[in-house]
Amino acid sequence: MRLRLEPRREASRAMLYGTPVLAVALTVLAGILIFSLMGYDGLAAIYQIFVAPIADPYRWQDLFVKAAPLITIALGLAIGFRANVWNIGAEGQYIVGALAGTGVALATWDMQGYWILPAMVAAGILGGLLWAAIPAFLKTRFNVNEILTSLMLTYVAVQLLYYLMRGPWRDPEGYGFPQTRLFSEWQTLPTVVQGTLVHLGVPVAFFLAIAVWIVLSRTVTGFQVRVVGLAPQAARYGGFSARGTVWLTLLTSGAFAGLAGIFEAAGPFQQMTPQFSVNYGFTAIIVAFLGRLHPLGIVLAGMVLAVSYVGGENAQTALGLPYAATGMFQAMMLFFLLAVDILVRYRLRVVVPADLSRPVEARHPPARQAETGAHVSSTPIDKQRESLSA
C-alpha cells in the first residue's frame, strides 16, 4: 500500500483557501521544532515572529509600509504569471523606476510646485515600464526567454544604480558619500494617516489590488490573460493574441514595479542610495505565489511577509535569534505552500502498488480553474515551451 495522488475533476475550493493556512501552520510547527533544536525557545520565537507584530498596534504602520511595495509589485507580476509570462526581473524594474523618478527629483531639486511629485511618479512608472519592455520586445520579436532576460537585466540595473550613486548623482554636499541629496518637500510622498509613517503608497497598493481583481475577473482583458495562460491553443482560436498578452503583462508588471520603486524612494527613503535594492522584486515573487496569484490573496500574503520581517527583528532583540533564521523561516513558508499546493488539484489516495504500473497520459492538470478567480501556482509554462521549441 502506498499513497497516490489522484487528479480532482475540479480544483478544490476548500483546498484553494485552506492550503495557505495549512502552509503557514506547517511552517509554524517546523519553526518551533527547528528553533528548539537550535537551542532557542521555539514557542517564544514563533510568538515574536508571527504574533507580536500584530498584537502591537504601534507596529501596524510598519507592517503597512513594508507590505505596500511588495503588494504593488506582486500584483503586477501575478497578472503576468497567470498568462504564463514569467517576469522575474521586477527588482530591476523597481530600481530603474526609482532611478527615473530620482532623475526628475534631482533635475527639479531647487524648484517648487505641486507638479513635481506627479512628474516623478510618472517618470517612475515609465522607467519600470521601459525596463520591462526590453524582455517584452525580445520575447515577441525573437522568442527570447523572458525569465532569463528579465533576470539578467536586474543585475544590469543594480550596476546602473551603483554607477549613478558613486558618480554623477552623488550629493555634492554629502562629504563624498555615495548617495543623492535628500528630496525636497515638494518631492516627498505625503503621509495619509496623520501621525504615522503610512504614506500614499499604502492606499494605492490596496486600491490597485481591488482594481486588478476587477480587471481580471470582470473584463475581457482579464479573461484574455487567464485564457492565454491556461489554454494557449484555445486563446488563439478565440482571437486572443499571445504577443499582445506578453506586451500587456510585461509592461503592466514593469509599470507596477516602477511605481513601487518611486514610491519607496520618494516616501520612506526620501533620497536614492546604493542600498536601495533590497530584493523587494524577488520577495514579491514569493508574495505572488503565497497569495495564489489572486489580488486579495496577494494583499494578505504581503502582510504575512511584512509580519515575518518585523517579527524577525523582534525575535532578534527578544531572543537573540539570528537574522539568518528568519530568512530560513520565510523560505520554509514558501516551500510548504508550494508543497501543499498540489492538494488543490489532486487528492491523496491510498492505493495498492499494482495500479501504478499502468501509464496513463494526463499532462494538463484536469481541474478547471478559470472560473474560480483564484488560480493555482503551478500551471505548466506551455506557451513558453512553444515559443522556445519553435
Partner 1 sequence: MSRMNRRQILVGSAATLALPALIGRAAAQDGPLNVGFVYVGPIGDYGWSHAHDEARKKAQEHFGDKIKTNYVENVAEGPDAERVIRQLAQQGNKLIFTTSFGFMNPTIKVAKQFPDVHFEHATGYKTADNVGIYNARFYEGRAVIGTIAGMMSKSGKAGYVGSVPIPEVVRGINAFTLAAQKVNPDFTTQVVWVNSWYDPAKEADAAKALIDQGCDIISQHTDSPAPLQAAEQRGVYAFGQASNMIDFAPKAHLTAITDNWGPYYIDQIQKQLDGEWAPGNIWWGIEKGLVGIAPYNDIMPADVKEAADKVKNGIASGEIHPFAGPITDQSGEVKVPEGDTIPDEQLLGLDWYVKGVQS
Partner 2 sequence: MTTAILISIIMTLVGAATPILLAALGELVVEKSGVLNLGLEGMMLIGAVTAFGVTFTTGSASLGLVAAMAAGAAASMIFAFLTLTLTANQVATGLALTIFGIGLSSLIGQNFVGRTVSGLEHIFPAALADDPIGRVVFGYSPLVYLSLVMTAFVAWFLTRSRAGLILRAIGESDEAAHSIGYSVIRVRYLAVAFGGAMAGLGGAYYSLVMTPMWADRLTAGRGWIALALVVFASWRPLRLLGGAYLFGAVMTLELHAKAAGINIVPPEFLAMLPYLATIVVLTLISIAPSGRRNAAPACLGKPFRATG
Residues that bind partner 1 (CB under 8 A): 58-59, 62, 65-66, 162, 166, 175-179, 182, 184-186, 188, 190-191, 194-197, 264, 268-271, 273, 275-276, 278, 309-310, 313-314, 316-318, 322-324
With CB cut-offs between 5 and 8 Å by kind, which of partner 1, partner 2, none does residue 58 bind? partner 1
Q: Considering only residues 363-382, where is the footprint of partner 2 by CB under 8 A?
A: 363, 365, 377-378, 380-382
Instruction: List CB contacts of 172: < 8 A, sequence separation 6 or more.
Output: 181
Long-range contacts of the stretch 205-211 (C-beta < 8 A, 24+): 205/67, 205/68, 205/69, 205/71, 205/72, 205/75, 205/299, 205/302, 206/71, 206/299, 208/71, 208/72, 208/75, 208/256, 209/71, 209/75, 209/295, 209/296, 209/298, 209/299, 210/295
**CA 278/CA 179 separation, integer angstroms:** 16
**Smallest gap from residue 353 Cβ to partner 2 (A):** 12
What is the smallest separation between the CB atom of 97 and partner 2, expressed in angstroms?
18
Which region among 55-63, 120-128, 154-162, 302-310 touches partner 2 (by CB under 8 A)?
A: 154-162
Q: Which is nearer to partner 2, 142 or 175 (CB)?
A: 142
CB 324 to partner 2: min, Å: 3
In the stretch 260-289, what mask flags binding to partner 2 with x, by CB under 8 A? ----------------------x--xx--x
Q: Does residue 250 contact residue 53 with C-beta atoms inside 8 Å?
A: no
Q: Interface with partner 2 by CB under 8 A: which range of 96-104, 118-126, 143-151, 233-241?
A: 143-151
* CB of 326 vs partner 2, minimal distance in Å: 7
Nearest residue to 230 (alpha-carbon basis) of 29, 390, 45, 369: 369
Pick out residues in 42-101 that bind partner 2 (CB under 8 A).
Answer: 86, 88
* In the complex, least distance from residue 241 CB atom to partner 1, rounded to whole angstroms: 40
Q: Report what 253 binds from partner 2, partner 1, none; CB cut-off 5-8 Å by kind.
A: none
Grid coordinates in use for 160?
546602473
As a whole number of angstroms, the distance between CA 5 and CA 106 comes to 58
Task: State how far Cα 119 lies from the chain centre.
Answer: 25
118: left (phi over 0), alpha (psi -120 to 50) or beta: alpha
Distance CA 108, CA 118 (A): 12
Which of residues 110, 185, 361, 371 is near partner 2 by CB under 8 A? 361
Among 7, 118, 190, 244, binds partner 2 (CB under 8 A): 7
Task: Tell me which residue of 258, 161, 154 sits closest to 201, measured CA to CA.
Answer: 258
Q: Which one of the spans 57-65, 207-215, 241-249, 362-370 is the region binding partner 2 (CB under 8 A)? A: 362-370
Tell me the residue type at 47: Y
Give which of partner 1, partner 2, none residue 167 binds (C-beta under 5 to 8 Å, depending on kind): partner 2
Q: How far apart, in Å, do the first and last CA atoms of the chain sit?
A: 43
Whether the CB-CB separation of 32 and 43 falls below 8 Å is answered with yes
Decide: 181 and 120 in contact? Cβ < 8 Å.
no
With binding defined as CB under 8 A, does residue 335 bind partner 2?
yes
Judged by CB under 8 A, does residue 177 bind partner 2? no
- Burial annotation 78-98 (CB, 10 A radius, 16+ → b, else e): bbbbbbbbbbbbbbbbbbbbb
Torsion sign over Cα 92, 93, 97, 103: positive
Q: How far is the CB of 312 from partner 2 (least distance, A)?
A: 11
Query: Which residue's CB is nearer to partner 2, number 6 or number 56?
Result: 6
By CB under 8 A, residue 113 contacts partner 2: no
Q: How many CB atoms lie within 10 A of CB 177?
A: 11
- Judged by CB under 8 A, the number of residues near partner 2 is 65
Which residues of this chain interact with partner 2, rule CB under 8 A?
5-7, 38, 86, 88, 138, 142-145, 147-149, 151-153, 155-156, 159-160, 162-163, 166-167, 282, 285-286, 289, 322-332, 334-335, 338-339, 341-342, 355-356, 358-363, 365, 377-378, 380-382, 384-385, 388-390
